[in-house]
Amino acid sequence: MNRNYLKTISLSLFIMLFIILSFSFRKADEAAVSFENNDKEFLPVLTAYSLYEGKIADLIPAKGVELYELSSHLFVDYAEKHRMIKLPAGTKMIFKGDGLPDFPDGTILVKTFYYYKDKRNLSDGKNIIETRLLIKKQSKWVVGTYKWNTQQTEASLITTGTDVNAAWIDADGKEKKIFFHIPSNAECSECHESNKADIPIGTKLRNMNFDVSRNGATINQIKHFQNIGWINSVDIAAIHSLPNWENPEYSLDKRARAYLDMNCAHCHNSKGSAADNKLVFEYEIPFDSTSIFLKKDKILKRMQSVEEDMRMPKIGTTVIDADGFELIKKYVNSLK
């Protein structure tokens, strides 16, 4: 066998190996992109889900879709939130205590972020920024984010995250501007992760156990779900209720713990993405098990930081929540 023949064989094998490795790496990259893009999990546009009746910008739930509200406010750069839930026909939520109910496969949770153009006159309309979907498939939750167009006629699936220039007039007549951050899939998961799987945050029964207005009448929200057959039989009196942190009728302790639960506990819990921090903000956790007193100075420092890598909450805010900070400041200064 001559030397040239051996060189030819060696070169051919090298080229084949290079092609195989390149193909493998390319397929791995494509798989990573596919996972990141959620292109197999979500439809490309929001209207494809038929969640709204009439013009989607009116945010009127379609038949088979229900509003849900939370008892306490989540701060996201002063944006308003509109929440809906859709259960597959003939199914219901199953009561599992104060926390998340057991949702059936096919459940869609919908949260839309917007600003009123002028909070002194709500009839001037909204500037809708984004809608986030949580869909339960094969017992697992997947997260998708949709960015609304400027015409407010459609929202399209995005995956990489982006900033949107938002402007509005507040209730005092002051002009406000902000770069609202629409999170990437990875950023959504950072808040929604529990035991390395995404789960809903707000739809705990204790967060929904309060009176709301439905069909012109005032009714307990969980009772309403019972009346329409969306949750199994449950003693509502046995479910706790998260206080509204903005309601001064509650004690300082309850208001502050409710704020920290709603705005921070999705990461700061024993199973969340900040579990290693050992700072726990869940409302039902006894105070002595939270480390709030030990880390009170750090809490204030992070809440009032203007540096992006130091600010808390880490995701969903680009400015300081002035009211929330003053509440927590008053609270931690009262701790002895």
Encode pLDDT of 96-142 as tens digits: 889 999 999 999 999 999 999 999 999 999 999 999 999 999 999 99
Residues 186, 103 within the same domain: yes
Residues 212, 76 within the same domain: yes
- 115 found inside a domain: yes
33 lies in which domain range? 1-37
Higher pLDDT, 8 or 213: 213
- Give the separation between CA 328 and CA 306, rounded to whole angstroms: 17
Residues 111, 228 within the same domain: yes
When pLDDT is averaged across residues 67-84 and rounded to a whole number, the result is: 95
CA atoms within 13 A on the CB side of 135: 16
- Give the separation between CA 70 and CA 243, rounded to whole angstroms: 10
When pLDDT is averaged across residues 200-214 and rounded to a whole number, the result is: 95
Spatial CB neighbours of 14, under 8 Å, sequence gap ≥ 6 = none
Residues 107, 231 within the same domain: yes
Residues 22, 122 within the same domain: no
Where does 175-251 have alpha helices with state H?
A: 185-192, 205-208, 221-227
Taking alpha carbons only, the member of 243, 218, 60, 51 closest to residue 135 is 51
Torsion sign (Cα): 324, 145, 148, 214: negative
Residue pLDDT, tens place only, 164-195: 999 999 999 999 999 999 988 777 766 777 66
- 283 found inside a domain: yes
- 247 found inside a domain: no
- 244 found inside a domain: no
Residues 204, 138 within the same domain: yes
Higher pLDDT, 275 or 162: 162
When pLDDT is averaged across residues 244-252 and rounded to a whole number, the result is: 96
Residues 12, 101 within the same domain: no
Residues 28, 60 within the same domain: no
Our count of domains for the chain comes to: 3
Say whether 299 sits in a helix, a strand or coil. helix
Residues 197, 74 within the same domain: yes
Residues 182, 221 within the same domain: yes
Residues 89, 147 within the same domain: yes
- 245 found inside a domain: no
State in Å, rounded, how far the first CA of the chain is from the last one: 89
Given this model, what pLDDT does residue 25 score?
Answer: 37
